[in-house]
């Protein structure tokens, strides 16, 4: 009777509870026992069926989910968490949808073990998901995660058959659309911006297809260039470092030399100033001394002159090694002088 529809590869929900035996099978067993004429068994079976019917009328909806009731396949109502009643199975069927749960879809990576330090499977296997062209016709590897929850259970259940495939295809399409309008530099450095735009556009696309899904976050993992190109990108980074290093080295040299030179210049100037002071003071001293002397000299010129002369002679004459006093009236004095004495000593 109630035709069991193949629900497709729907990965989430569609939780029909434990499938009870089909109506017709039960009825068959009833009729079998009927033919056997064992009424007590028949009564027991009828009782069991009645109990089952009663039980299938009551159901609870968990706090993180809603219940969707279909009567003969037609959508009737959506019920909130708590205890509820419905017509027996076969007439009204219940599907629980977890509306609070956040689901995650990963692109270009797979989580191996979630936790504080989440491990991801190596991205190479999922390269076809994450490899894309940028707007400047370069290749980039963009792995990302989409988190979402079911916002509209009615749409989620009835409007689209394979929601997961829809979401995955849409995500890939939108991500490539956004990345296709950006340069490789922007893809590598402005992940936040890309994620935001993807989120908006993806939500639009999902709304248009009536998936009933609400995107929570779109998160870009580490974006990069393809593996063969990576060393050359690293080389650029290295070159930037080298450039900075060269500049710093030059600045270091500058800072080593210039302040020292400034100090030395200061020293030179100070020394010159010292020289100047010295020179002027000495000149003043000399001059004043001379003037003092001269002032006294003018008072008694002759005698002072004599005194000065004699005082000087008193100092000079004793110092001299050989002194010859010659009378100019004496002739032929020269041979007497033993001028060669020095030579003899040798």
- Which of 43, 51, 293, 303: binder of another protein (CB under 8 A)? 293
In the complex with another protein, the residue whose CB is nearer, 124 or 284, is 284
- Which of 18, 115, 228, 343: binder of another protein (CB under 8 A)? 228
Dist CA 160 CA 170 (whole Å):
13
DSSP string, 203-223: HHHHHHTT--EEEEEEEE---
Check residue 257 for interaction with another protein (CB under 8 A): yes
Residues 81-140 interacting with another protein (rule: CB under 8 A) = 128, 131-139
Site string for another protein, 323-342 (x = CB under 8 A): xxxxxx--------------
Q: Choose the binding region for another protein from 57-65, 78-86, 106-114, 313-321 (rule: CB under 8 A).
A: 313-321
- Which of 43, 44, 47, 269: binder of another protein (CB under 8 A)? 269
Q: For residue 46, give the nearest of 59, 33, 55, 37 by alpha carbon.
A: 33
Q: For residue 165, give the nearest of 220, 211, 101, 199 by alpha carbon.
A: 211
In the complex with another protein, the residue whose CB is nearer, 102 or 287, is 287
CA dihedral 325, 326, 327, 329 (to 10 degrees): 180
Check residue 70 for interaction with another protein (CB under 8 A): yes
Asked if 26 and 103 touch (Cβ cutoff 8 Å), the reply is: no
Check residue 309 for interaction with another protein (CB under 8 A): yes
Check residue 50 for interaction with another protein (CB under 8 A): no
Dist CA 246 CA 235 (whole Å):
16
Q: For residue 109, give the nearest of 69, 157, 144 by alpha carbon.
A: 144
- Which of 51, 102, 246, 300: binder of another protein (CB under 8 A)? 246
In the complex with another protein, the residue whose CB is nearer, 115 or 328, is 328
Dihedral sign of CA atoms 62, 66, 68, 69 in order: positive
Tokens of 227: 């593996």
Residues forming beta bridges with residue 15, ordered by sequence position: 96
Number of residues in contact with another protein under rule CB under 8 A: 122
Q: How far is the CB of 198 from another protein (least distance, A)?
A: 12
Residues 14-33 interacting with another protein (rule: CB under 8 A) = 24, 27, 30-31
- Which of 25, 124, 125, 279: binder of another protein (CB under 8 A)? 279
Residues 138-197 interacting with another protein (rule: CB under 8 A) = 138-139, 157-162, 165-166, 169-170, 172-173, 176-177, 180-186
Q: For residue 224, give the nearest of 233, 214, 235 by alpha carbon.
A: 233
CA dihedral 105, 107, 112, 115 (to 10 degrees): -60
Dist CA 314 CA 320 (whole Å):
11
- Which of 102, 247, 300, 336: binder of another protein (CB under 8 A)? 247
């Amino acid at each position: 009777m109630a035709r069991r529809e193949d629900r497709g590869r729907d990965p989430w929900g569609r939780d029909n509870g434990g499938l009870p035996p089909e109506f017709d099978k039960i009825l068959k067993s009833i009729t079998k026992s009927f033919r056997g004429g064992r009424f007590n068994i028949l009564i027991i079976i009828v009782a069991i069926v009645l109990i089952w019917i009663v039980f299938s009328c009551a159901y609870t909806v968990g706090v993180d989910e809603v219940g969707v009731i279909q009567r003969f396949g037609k959508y009737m109502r959506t019920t909130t968490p708590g205890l509820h009643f419905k017509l027996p199975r076969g007439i009204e069927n219940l599907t629980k949808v977890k509306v609070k749960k956040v689901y995650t879809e990963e692109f270009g990576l797979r989580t191996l073990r979630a936790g504080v330090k989440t491990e991801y499977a190596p991205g190479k296997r999922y390269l076809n998901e994450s490899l894309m062209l940028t707007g400047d016709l370069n290749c980039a590897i963009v792995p990302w995660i989409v988190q979402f929850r079911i916002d509209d259970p009615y749409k989620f259940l009835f409007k689209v058959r394979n929601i997961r495939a829809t979401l995955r295809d849409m995500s890939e399409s939108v991500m490539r659309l956004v990345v296709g309008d950006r340069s490789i530099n922007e893809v590598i450095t402005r992940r936040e911006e890309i994620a935001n735009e993807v989120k908006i556009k993806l939500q639009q696309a999902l709304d248009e297809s009536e998936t009933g899904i609400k995107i929570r976050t779109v998160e870009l993992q580490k974006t990069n260039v393809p593996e063969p190109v990576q060393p050359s990108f690293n080389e650029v980074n290295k070159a930037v470092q080298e450039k900075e290093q060269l500049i710093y080295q030059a600045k270091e040299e500058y800072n080593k030399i210039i302040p020292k030179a400034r100090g030395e210049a200061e020293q030179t100037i100070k020394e010159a100033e010292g020289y100047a002071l010295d020179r002027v003071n000495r000149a003043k001293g000399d001059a004043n001394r001379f003037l003092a002397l001269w002032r006294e000299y003018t008072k008694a010129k002759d005698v002072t002159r004599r005194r000065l002369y004699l005082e000087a002679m008193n100092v000079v004459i004793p110092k001299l090694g050989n002194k010859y006093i010659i009378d100019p009236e004496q002739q032929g004095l020269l041979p007497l002088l033993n001028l060669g004495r020095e030579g003899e000593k040798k």
